Amino acid sequence: MSTGLVSPDSPGAVLQLVRSAHSSSRSEIARLTGISASTAALRVQALLDSGYLEEAGDGESQGGRRPRRIRLRTGGGVVAAADLGASHAALALFDLGGELLADRSASIRVQDGPESVLGWVHAQLQEMLDGLDGSAPLHGLTVGVPGPVDAQAGRVVTPARMPGWNGVDVRALLGRLTDVPVLVENDANLMAVGEHAAIPDPGGHLLFLKAGSGIGCGVVIDGHLHRGARGAAGDISHVSVGGTSEVPCSCGRIGCLDAVASGAALARDLAAAGLPVRDTADVLALAADAEPVSARMLRTAGRATGEVLASVVNFFNPDTLVLGGRLSQAEPYVSSLRAVLYERCLPLATDDLRVAVTTTGRLAGVIGGAHLMLEHLFDPTRVNSALGVGPQPLAVAH
């Protein structure tokens, strides 16, 4: 990861400029960084020689010679992402510019355990790689899981809905199957990053609510994922929603948001009311048919979630709140959540707040996974180190 000590005239910093599309020629790089034209040309040449950049033809003349344009060599490799839910998975491949190349989704049973599920993920991704036009090497893999993750260690920590996964070192398990860098992240965190990368003008501060079978929340601050001290930031699932709820939660307490307002909780309560419901998808199907009990329960769940989010929004003052996960497809849920949010928040916190339903849908997590991996691969310190420039990174996060 970046140490913040990257010299602005180093190849890694120059690559960052080109990636961010702020410059596409040697002369622009020289102008933006203040380095000499000859140094800019040397840095670009090193990045061309090592395959990070490629020539992109001639640009518009600014009066003199037409500048030769350069760009990221997006076809030089592929990054993969897998977003695992309790009962479904999204898998995708992206080029090095973050363009989606292929994706698929499938039903899984996360309780089958890490060896089985991760083996399946690897085999699926291999099949997708084999199906691509042309061969580009895999450069990295990000896996999102529906539970708390110690991202530094790559371990899953006390996940409520992932029996058999507690303490599992996902990075090490995948490391037996592939030798590329592996990142492991909580699914709501990946979705927050994915939505922030995908929507136009999100502002620096974004909250992503994932309301599916379970409830989670991802936090982006100043454009970067905020994990907190141990990776628990944004976990609103065990906030007590007060009232008189005696519903026991998987964490051992009673009345947690997850126990009363998650898709799993709604499925449980609707089944107890005698309706033919097994899971969150069934809850949504009933609501789509305007079945009144499910609509009322979705409104109650939306209010409970909105009350928790109101505290978070007042405290955090985000630019954007994105509502994702399957429950965000249910109108009664979204409208009651919005209503309580505006009721309970200070005008200063909501005047310019954008509240939107996810636009990336089931791809939010894999887009976020690719984004994090590309940030990792193109980290200026890492690039400089690969080119033998400057201080070696303290720890290669692999």
Question: Which residue number, 251 or 288, has a Cβ lying nearer to Zn ion?
Answer: 251
Task: Transcribe 173-206 into DSSP letters.
Answer: HHHTT--S-EEEEEHHHHHHHHHHHHSSS--S-E
What radius of gyration do the chain's Cα atoms show? 23
Contact call for residue 238 and Zn ion (CB under 5 A):
yes
Question: Which residue number, 159 or 194, has a Cβ lying nearer to Zn ion?
Answer: 159
Within 13 Å, how many C-alpha atoms sit on residue 17's CB side? 26
Burial class (CB in 10 A: 0-12, 13-18, 19+), 253: exposed
Question: Which residue number, 214 or 302, has a Cβ lying nearer to Zn ion?
Answer: 214
- Which of 52-60, 135-143, 242-250, 274-282 is the region at the interface with Zn ion (rule: CB under 5 A)? 242-250
Task: Specify whether the CB–CB gap between 191 and 234 falls below 8 A.
Answer: no
Q: Strand pairing partners for 330?
A: none
Q: Give the number of residues in contact with Zn ion, rule: CB under 5 A.
A: 4
Contact call for residue 251 and Zn ion (CB under 5 A):
yes
CB of residue 98 vs Zn ion: minimum separation in angstroms? 36
Question: Which residue number, 109 or 253, has a Cβ lying nearer to Zn ion?
Answer: 253
- Which of 64-72, 224-232, 249-257, 288-296 is the region at the interface with Zn ion (rule: CB under 5 A)? 249-257
Query: CA 53 to CA 138: how far, in whole Å?
Result: 17
Contact call for residue 256 and Zn ion (CB under 5 A):
yes
CB of residue 215 vs Zn ion: minimum separation in angstroms? 10
- Which of 17-25, 30-38, 60-68, 252-260 is the region at the interface with Zn ion (rule: CB under 5 A)? 252-260
Distance of CA 374 to the CA centre of its chain: 12
Question: Which residue number, 238 or 299, has a Cβ lying nearer to Zn ion?
Answer: 238
- Which of 32-40, 72-80, 250-258, 274-282 is the region at the interface with Zn ion (rule: CB under 5 A)? 250-258
3-state secondary structure 286-315: HHHCCCHHHHHHHHHHHHHHHHHHHHHHHH
Taking CB under 5 A as the criterion, the residue among 249, 260, 286, 383 binding Zn ion is 249
CB of residue 160 vs Zn ion: minimum separation in angstroms? 7
- Which of 11-19, 111-119, 245-253, 279-287 is the region at the interface with Zn ion (rule: CB under 5 A)? 245-253
Using CA of residue 83, residue 218, residue 332, residue 329, what is the dihedral sign? negative
Cβ neighbours, 10 Å, residue 131: 11
Nearest Cα residue to 398 out of 385, 390, 7, 389:
385
CB of residue 251 vs Zn ion: minimum separation in angstroms? 3
Q: Which chain residues interact with Zn ion by CB under 5 A?
A: 238, 249, 251, 256
